[in-house]
């Protein structure tokens, strides 16, 4: 259910409606919009008695949301969600493209700094790097853990880049939330519902990668899990799905972009690296993603991919990343976007 407040409703009226909802043993999710505030209701088993709510002061109407995902749905919030990063000009979901670049795994301080310096010089605003790696083999490199988180925190202070890294379980989730700016939930964990709920109780943006065989509805339901716990800063990421095609690692499903944008207000990035698994396919797919309306690109970059401890064959060279930035900068205005170059950090207030 959704309570739509009148445009002129006061903060007190909004608060009173939320309190009434909570008194019914339900959860209220106030979602401010440009025109009016809507209040999502979750936790109800059946239909909520709408008469009581409709009678409250400041309420315009009470409507039923028929989709299984509620808070992630555009029915509940018409305007696009824009995730902002305090003290910087970086955004995800605005007309500015968000570019996330970095190695698959943080391998050493030297490796991470060398790559961060190059991607920052080309104008990336976000740095990615795995600290905890979900690997198919238990014998493969599993990530440097907390040491990698410390290295990325230093990268943030040195280059200003905001940090995105994956949490794979409860323990790493708490650490990632403490050290990073965005918590990534990987494809293999997209339906780890207890992990999603726990991430929903944190107050850090959560980037959810599409599961290997997830439908659009399943993908949006994962976002809903996070939002249902009160964390509304969710970013989706298309990273390819498994098909019969064997010329690429996965099949990049760009057709999910207009579908997500029609059904949801959440931003969606595209990861052409895991989608294709091939360095020579990354730039064409990044260009296509921007042309198709992605809110940004998440891409793996390595200065010595032949020596990478994970995902070397799909990691592009820093020079290729520079080319990718130049190319998408030209495509961006065609689709009403622009590419910010570099991150501006506001001087700390005295
Ligand atoms: C990653 O981004 O490094 C990663 C493991 O991605 P995915 O979960 O999409 O496989
Ligand atoms: Mn990877």
**What is the predicted pLDDT for the residue at 50?**
80
Q: pLDDT tens for residues 169-224?
A: 999 999 999 999 999 999 999 999 999 999 999 999 999 999 999 999 999 999 99
Instruction: Looking at the CA of 184, name the nearest ligand.
Output: 1
| DSSP result, 208-233 | EEPPTT--HHHHHHHHHHHHHTT---
How far is the centre of ligand 1, averaged over its atoms, from the C-alpha of 24 (Å)?
41
Cα separation, 268 vs 98, in Å, equals: 10
pTM: 0.97
Residue 86 buriedness (CB in 10 A; 0-12 / 13-18 / 19+): exposed
* Helices and strands counted in the chain (H then E): 11, 14
Protein residue with least CA distance to atom 8, ligand 1: 186
What percentage of the chain carries pLDDT values higher than 90? Answer: 94
The CB of 279 under 6 Å from ligand 1? The reply is no
**For the chain, what is the largest distance between any 2 Cα atoms, rounded to a whole number of angstroms?**
66
Reading the block at residue 36, the tokens are 């009016």
pLDDT at 104: 98
Cα(166) to centroid of ligand 2, in Å? Answer: 10
Ligand 1 atom closest to Cα of 298?
2
**CA-nearest residue, atom 6 of ligand 1:** 186
- CA of 187 from ligand 1 middle (Å) equals 6
10-residue stretch averages of pLDDT, the chain, 350 residues long: 95 97 94 92 84 93 93 95 97 98 98 98 98 95 97 98 98 98 98 98 98 98 98 98 97 98 98 98 98 99 98 98 98 98 86
CA of 274 to the centre of ligand 1 (A): 7
Find the Cα–Cα–Cα–Cα dihedral 68, 70, 76, 82, rounded to 10°: -120
Contact 202, 231 (CB under 8 A): yes
Quote the tokens at residue 229.
Answer: 């716990």
Spatial neighbors of 114 by CB under 8 A, at least 6 apart, are 303
Question: How many Cα atoms within 13 Å fall on the side-chain side of residue 105?
Answer: 21
Is 186 a pocket residue for ligand 1 (Cβ < 6 Å)? yes
Ligand nearest to the CA of 100: 1
Cβ neighbours for 150, distance < 8 A, ≥ 6 positions apart: 179
Predicted pLDDT of residue 179: 98
Helix, coil or strand: residue 273: helix
Distance 19 CA to ligand 2 centre (A): 45
Expressed in angstroms and rounded, the spacing between residue 25 Cα and the centre of ligand 1 is 38
Q: Is 115 in the pocket of ligand 1 (CB under 6 A)?
A: no
Is the CB of 209 inside a 6 Å radius of any atom of ligand 1? yes
Evaluate: CB of 129 within 6 angstroms of ligand 1: no
Question: What are the start-end ranges of the H helices in the chain?
Answer: 11-23, 50-54, 109-121, 146-159, 170-179, 193-200, 216-228, 256-263, 272-276, 279-291, 318-331
Q: Are 71 and 225 in contact (CB under 8 A)?
A: no
CB 318 within 8 Å of CB 280: no
Least distant ligand from the CA of 314 = 2
């Amino acid at each position: 259910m959704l309570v739509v407040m009148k445009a002129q409703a006061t903060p007190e009226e909004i608060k009173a409606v939320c309190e009434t909802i909570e008194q019914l043993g339900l959860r209220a999710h106030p979602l401010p919009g440009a025109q009016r505030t809507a209040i999502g209701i979750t936790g109800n088993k059946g239909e909520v008695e709408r008469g009581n709510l409709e009678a409250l002061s400041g309420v315009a109407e009470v409507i039923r949301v028929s989709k299984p995902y509620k808070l992630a749905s555009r029915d509940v919030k018409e305007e696009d969600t824009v995730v902002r990063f305090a003290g910087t000009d970086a955004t995800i979901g605005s007309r500015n493209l968000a570019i996330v670049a970095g190695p698959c795994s943080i391998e050493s301080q030297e490796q991470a700094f060398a790559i961060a310096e190059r991607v920052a010089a080309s104008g990336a605003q976000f740095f990615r790097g795995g600290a905890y790696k979900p690997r198919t083999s238990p014998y493969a490199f599993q990530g440097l853990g907390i040491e990698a988180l410390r290295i990325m925190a230093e990268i943030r202070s040195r280059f200003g880049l905001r940090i995105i890294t994956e949490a794979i379980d409860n323990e790493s989730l708490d650490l990632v939330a403490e050290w990073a700016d965005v918590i990534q939930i990987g494809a293999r964990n997209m339906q780890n519902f207890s992990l999603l709920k726990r991430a929903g109780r944190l107050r850090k943006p959560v980037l959810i990668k599409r599961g290997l065989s997830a439908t659009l509805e399943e993908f949006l339901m994962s976002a809903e899990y996070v939002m249902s716990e009160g964390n509304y800063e969710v970013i989706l990421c298309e990273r390819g799905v498994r098909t019969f095609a064997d010329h690429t690692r996965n099949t990049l499903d760009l057709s999910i972009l207009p579908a997500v944008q029609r059904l949801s207000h959440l931003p969606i990035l595209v990861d052409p690296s895991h989608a294709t698994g091939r360095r020579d396919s990354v730039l064409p797919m990044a260009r296509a993603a921007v042309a198709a309306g992605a809110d940004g690109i998440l891409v793996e970059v390595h200065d010595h991919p032949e020596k990478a401890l994970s995902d070397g064959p799909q990691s592009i060279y820093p020079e290729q990343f520079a080319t990718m930035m130049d190319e998408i900068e030209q495509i961006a205005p065609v689709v009403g976007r622009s590419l910010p170059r570099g991150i501006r950090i506001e001087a700390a207030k005295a």
